[in-house]
Amino acid sequence: MDYLTLEFSGDVGIVGLNRPSKRNAISDAFIEEFDDVITQVEAKAKAGVIHGHGPHFCAGLDLAEHVKKTPFEGVQGSRRWHQVFARIQRGKLPWFAALHGAVVGGGLELASSVHVRVADKTAFFALPEGQRGIFVGGGASARTARLMGVSRMMDLMMTGRSIDADTAERWGTVNYVVDAGTALEEAVKMAAKAATNAELSNYAIIHALPRINDMATDDGLWVESLIASFTQTSPEAEARLNAFLEKRVGKVSNPNA
């Protein structure tokens, strides 16, 4: 592979963005390789982690390539990003991102497509498209805006402001902030835990929750009842529930203990 690395740790597929000389900038070839790697991870793993080699996670779109495109080529490229990132967001497995350094533009769009984001203290976040004379094209208007809110996204795009990891957590853009250099280790641990869940439960969480969030309340509750009934009658759910009732697995831990 030219732009990515792939390794497996138990049931977790670990994908590394491997273009550090370009701050892991995303090109068309990069996207196509990513599509292939997602297929490999889905075939062999039960959860996935994305991280960046070098000092940054990803500084976004490869502008040198983008500036040469016609408007129609730009639309086609944007739609291809949407297709590949949708395979992460609405795919087969839970995905985690380990973030450090620059998480900028397309890098933040990629991070927004995963289900759980772990940022270390070096991470910073920005959407500088307004200063480049362009608009987001990798899914930020539909994904990142839902995480941080439209007003905050407008702020980043119009002012060129960047935010640190603590602010990103406060805004709901990341789920965890950890010490510098530990994001990958922590993300892999979390992914390994998610990989032990019932496959059907993970799939329902990935696919149902975002859709219910976009529904009217009564419609969402109706869908929830159907999915709850469907998942709890599976053989794996029955085995796991009996294990809990028979005290063969522990209760939910108390974080205040």
d(CA 42, CA 48): 8
How would you list the strands of the sheet with 124-126, edge to edge? 102-104, 124-126, 162-164
For 109, the 3-state DSSP assignment is helix
Confidence of residue 51 (pLDDT cuts 50, 70, 90): very high
What distance in Å separates the CA atoms of residue 166 and residue 124, rounded to the nearest whole number?
Answer: 9
Helices then strands, counting H and E runs in the chain, come out as 12, 9
β pairing state of 95-99 and 176-178: unpaired
Domain that holds residue 211: 199-245
Are 212 and 188 found together in one domain?
no
- Of the candidates 129, 185, 236, 238, the residue annotated as catalytic is 129
Q: Are residues 94 and 221 in the same domain?
A: no
- Proportion of the chain in helix, strand, coil states, percent, rounded to 5: 50, 15, 35
**Residue 66 reports pLDDT greater than 70:** no
pLDDT 10s digits, 142-172: 999 999 999 999 999 999 999 999 999 999 9
d(CA 108, CA 137): 11
Query: Where a domain ends, among 179, 194, 209?
Result: 194
Whichever domain contains 133, its CATH number is 3.90.226.10
What's the Cα-to-Cα distance from 101 to each of 20, 67, 181, rounded to whole Å?
A: 12, 25, 10
Answer yes or no: is 257 within a domain.
no
Q: State the Cα–Cα distance between residues 160 and 11, nearest whole angstrom.
A: 39
Residues in CB range of 4: below 8 A, 6 or more apart: 15, 16, 17, 18, 30, 33, 34, 37
Mean of the pLDDT values across residues 45-53? 98
**Same domain (yes/no): 215, 156:** no
Both 107 and 234 in one domain: the answer is: no
Query: What confidence tens digit (pLDDT) does each residue in 79-133 have?
Result: 999 999 999 999 999 999 999 999 999 999 999 999 999 999 999 999 988 777 7
| 184 lies in the same domain as 105 | yes
Which residue in 73, 109, 185, 236 is the catalytic one?
A: 109
Q: What is the CATH number of the domain that holds 212?
A: 1.10.12.10
User: Is there a single domain that holds both residue 91 and residue 177?
Assistant: yes
Do 213 and 147 fall into the same domain? Answer: no
Give how many domains the chain has, as a whole number: 2
> What band does 236 get if pLDDT is binned at 50, 70 and 90?
confident
Respond yes or no: is residue 109 known to be catalytic: yes
The sheet carrying 176-178 orders its strands as 4-9, 12-17, 47-52, 95-99, 116-120, 176-178
Query: Do residues 225 and 141 share a domain?
Result: no
- Establish if 139 belongs to a structural domain: yes
